[in-house]
Amino acid sequence: MKLFQPKYKDGDRLSLKDGQTLRLSVNKRARRISIRIDAREREAVVVAPSAATLSQGVAFALQKADWVAQKLDSAIEAQPFMAGMSVGYLGQTLQLEAVSGVSAAHLYDTDTGPVLRAGGEGEAFSRRIENWFRRQARVFLLERTEHYLQKLGQGQVRVSIVDTRSRWGSCSPHNRSIRYSWRVVMAPRAVADYLAAHEVAHLVRADHSPEYWAVVTGLIGDHKPMRQWLKAHGAQLHAIGG
């Protein structure tokens, strides 16, 4: 007896009309099939709970072809970090400058405001700026994670700083690990702080039930403005840095 083999698999890419791309993604935590737009890669992504349901996801995307095309056409184009660019950092606005004779990025206070300086050109400059943001994200998010762990009486967790494109963070209560997108430190401080509270709260409730949101509210109060900020500006942050 021949075993059933799914027609599609995780990571497959299909061509849509006008040369646009549809990427297939399996997320076992997903409750239903959904479509999201990856602004940095300028492609649509079908997210399905299993490989067996990817075919349904493809059919759903084809039904929504006009909507997908419209979203891709309006997607923000990815832009690497470049000298002269202004970038947010926990509520501040940093000016990026390229300087000779240095390598790693360093932050300086100047008469005109904070300046983040790094050496190199093109990809090398962008990578050094990104590495600086990653380091700052680790420091900030580790501290805020510990803060909320203590508030909830929770033990230690393993924290990873990653570059996810569909989520700002994730929590696995069973192995006590939390993953954060480093890009959240380009948001206002309160938004980045909310993300830490959001993920730590999942150690108490692994769902998004009213009981879960009550835990978040107990940690930071009204969380809706922060959620709305990420929804409104998240695509822009994902596009910065290439």
Residue 96: how many CA atoms within 13 Å on its side-chain side?
27
Residue with the two structure tokens 């490989």: 51
pLDDT tens for each residue of 37-96: 877 777 889 999 998 899 999 999 888 888 888 877 776 777 899 999 999 999 999 999
Question: What's the pLDDT at 166?
Answer: 66
Contact (CB, 8 A) for 81 and 97: no
Contact (CB, 8 A) for 75 and 235: yes
Contact (CB, 8 A) for 33 and 53: yes
Residue 78: name the closest of 27, 116, 130 by CA.
Answer: 130
Q: Give the CA dihedral 205, 233, 48, 200, nearest 10 degrees.
A: -20
> Two tokens at 36?
């999201």
Question: What's the pLDDT at 16?
Answer: 77
Question: What's the pLDDT at 162?
Answer: 94
Question: What's the pLDDT at 149?
Answer: 98
From the number of C-beta atoms within 10 Å of its C-beta (0-12, 13-18, 19+), residue 95 rates as middle
Question: What's the pLDDT at 6?
Answer: 64
Determine the residue type at 152. Answer: L
Question: What's the pLDDT at 1?
Answer: 42
Phi, psi of 80, rounded to the nearest 5 degrees: -70, 160
Q: Starting at the edge strand that comes first in sequence, how are the strands of the sheet with 86-89 ordered?
A: 86-89, 92-98, 113-118, 106-110
Of the listed ranges 10-19, 22-31, 165-174, 203-212, the least confidently predicted one is 10-19
| 5: pLDDT strictly greater than 60 | no
pLDDT tens for each residue of 88-143: 999 999 999 999 888 899 999 999 999 999 999 999 999 999 999 999 999 999 99
pTM, full prediction:
0.77
Question: What's the pLDDT at 29?
Answer: 77
Q: Distance between CA atoms of 68 and 51, rounded to whole angstroms?
A: 21
